[in-house]
Structure 1
Amino acid sequence: MTTDTASSMSRRAILGAFAATAITAAPTFANAAGFLRGGGDIRRIKMYSGRTGERIDMIYWIEGEYIRDAVKEINHFMRDWRTDGVTSMDLRTIDIMSAAHNLLDATEPYMLLSGYRSPQTNAMLRSRSRGVAKNSLHMKGQAADLRLSSRTVAQVARAAAACRGGGVGKYSRSNFVHMDCGVVRTWGR
């Protein structure tokens, strides 16, 4: 590569190329709070959906910047699968999910049970269960319900709570953890 070619490449292009090749370089962080404050150079999310059969494994943040195309893919992946409705997920929730996953030192992806929910889906679920909030943060793209088969609900919930970034609900009977970027709080068994 000539000096002219190298100097004409933008920082963003270099970071984009790095993102495409650096998946194995994603570090494990011992301190989630530091991670959420920008203590890491790379943020990665790994999930699959049993509802759609889709999988996602991508770096979405490098050196203080979110990667727009990666975030767009995450938004689509976390859509309401019942209505195919997509919203912009709150990146604070994605950061909490990523930090908790790193704290757990898990290699398997999260199973996404619920990300964004349309008001219609939320109303339908609410009619079937008392556990669904009328003004659920899922409808704002600020919450996710997740499961890891290699970790207990209590382990996943402890990791998410250590992030001190929002709400963490344990649903042991249904085998999932709720994570959101709302008020810091915990609930459930």
Structure 2
Amino acid sequence: MYETGKTAFTRRAILGAFAATTVVAAPTFTNAAGLLRGAGDIRRIRMYSSRTGESMDSIYWIEGEYIKEVIKEINFFMRDWRSDRTTSMDIRTVDIMAASHNLMDISEPYMLLSGYRTPQTNAMLRSRSRGVAKNSLHMKGMAADLRLKSRSVGQMAKAAVACNAGGVGRYSRSNFVHMDCGTVRSWGR
């Protein structure tokens, strides 16, 4: 215990004051990396694919460093399942996904509907739907289409928009949210 004049400071009181300051300061982070910094020294991604039957629950960042082996696993997991082709996913998209997941305070993994798409896959999907962009960021490994059973499209989109770090598309009729690391923008209902 420390005493100054008539005021006594205990270690517990000092730590309590620090914790209260940290909680008040936490909401000031405005992008995905900032939100993840507030989450501690690890970043984790949880996903599954009903198309391939695969799932992953991996820590991909520890104490300021991305784990190369896990990033390779993420690239493979987010591959174009139609052609089995991979690309180097832009890790900023994964950071946005992880930050959004943290904001929703859930443990349920994302269902990955679409990560990387080859130009051929994108053209095929574009011929079937007017909602597929000709120059989709999926073809650059910069986007993901995701679904959660426990959260609505609106809840997922709100969390992603709060990251203020990329594009967020709401596809309520198809029950999924698009997240990308392109320019900050949003669309859909």
Percent identity of equivalent pairs: 74
| Secondary structure at the counterpart of residue 124 of structure 1 | helix
C-alpha distance in 2, partners of 1:132/1:114? Answer: 12
C-alpha distance in 2, partners of 1:79/1:174? Answer: 21
C-alpha distance in 1, partners of 2:32/2:142? Answer: 19
Q: Counterpart in 2 of 1:13?
A: none
Contiguous gaps of at least 5 residues in structure 1 = 1-29
Paired amino acid for 2:162: A
C-alpha distance in 1, partners of 2:64/2:52? Answer: 31
Q: Counterpart in 1 of 2:181?
A: 181
Deviation of residue 35 (structure 1)?
5.4
C-alpha distance in 1, partners of 2:107/2:137? Answer: 28
Question: Is 1:114 the counterpart of 2:111 in the alignment?
Answer: no
The 5 Å alignment of 1:1-189 reads 31=27, 33=30, 36-37=33-34, 38-39=37-38, 40-189=40-189
Q: Aligned in 2, Cα 1:44/1:120: closer, same or farther, shift over 3 Å?
A: same
Paired amino acid for 1:105: D
Paired amino acid for 1:80: D
C-alpha distance in 2, partners of 1:163/1:34? Answer: 5
Deviation of residue 137 (structure 1)?
0.1
Question: What's the TM-score, normalizing by structure 2?
Answer: 0.82
C-alpha distance in 2, partners of 1:67/1:186? Answer: 30
C-alpha distance in 2, partners of 1:45/1:65? Answer: 15
Deviation of residue 33 (structure 1)?
3.2
Q: Counterpart in 1 of 2:17?
A: none
C-alpha distance in 2, partners of 1:188/1:105? Answer: 24
Q: Counterpart in 2 of 1:26?
A: none
Q: Counterpart in 1 of 2:21?
A: none
C-alpha distance in 2, partners of 1:81/1:136? Answer: 17
Q: Counterpart in 2 of 1:23?
A: none
C-alpha distance in 2, partners of 1:164/1:35? Answer: 7
Q: Figure out how many residues of one structure are paired with residues of the other and give that number.
A: 160
- Contact 2:111 2:147 (C-alpha < 8 Å) held by counterparts: yes
Deviation of residue 73 (structure 1)?
0.2
C-alpha distance in 2, partners of 1:33/1:75? Answer: 26
Paired amino acid for 1:138: H
Paired amino acid for 2:160: A
Deviation of residue 186 (structure 1)?
0.5
Question: What's the TM-score, normalizing by structure 1?
Answer: 0.82
C-alpha distance in 2, partners of 1:101/1:93? Answer: 12
Higher alpha-carbon Rg: 2
C-alpha distance in 1, partners of 2:130/2:71? Answer: 32
